[in-house]
Amino acid sequence: MTTPIKELKVSAIENGTVIDHIPSKSVFQVIKILHLEDTGDMVLFGTNLESKKLGKKGIVKVSNKFFKKHEINKIGLVAPSATLIVIKDYKVTEKREVQLPDTIEEIVKCFNPNCITNHERVNTKFTVIDKKDVKLRCNYCEKITDKKNMNFR
């Protein structure tokens, strides 16, 4: 009789980034907004994994990818509970929680069809008014965009 496997082991990455503590329902959105489907490097993901912090969580591991500030801001918009873990030579060199800045520029489109940013070459700019539930106020039309109405550029 064999013992059932209780743990899934995934190979370590030599260099790259792990995005951990993603709400399970946001894993595919994180992959999409970061355009990870277009990378030529290894991308591993898991969803609905056991988590003491979230109950269920998701994780994304990307080889040879170190995210830029605007990409980290995107992650924060859809997964504010996420943790970034930077791996170099198989060792953790940095571990930090994603934090939303006070303003978001050029990442999200205003959902108001009448906003100037949707008709002219004006970059979007939002003030983050709720970091927990992620709500943004457009600096031009002052409409509030929440997480479910966000469209990324």
Pairing of strands 135-138, 103-105: unpaired
Q: Which two tokens stand for residue 122?
A: 């004006």
Residue 11 token pair: 């190979």
Average pLDDT along the chain: 90
Q: Domain-by-domain residue ranges, the chain?
A: 16-97, 103-152
Domain 103-152 in the same topology as domain 16-97 = no
> Which pLDDT score, from 0 to 100, does residue 153 have?
77
Q: What is the pLDDT of residues 32-74, one digit of tens each?
A: 999 999 999 999 999 999 888 778 999 999 999 999 998 999 9
Structure token pair of residue 88: 């170099």
Asked if 19 contacts 79 with a C-beta cutoff of 8 angstroms, the reply is yes
> Model pTM?
0.83
CATH topology of domain 103-152: SH3 type barrels. (2.30.30)
31: left (phi over 0), alpha (psi -120 to 50) or beta: alpha
Please give the Cα distance from 45 to 58 (Å, whole number).
7
Helices (H), 45-128: 69-78
Q: Look up the CATH number of domain 16-97.
A: 3.30.70.140
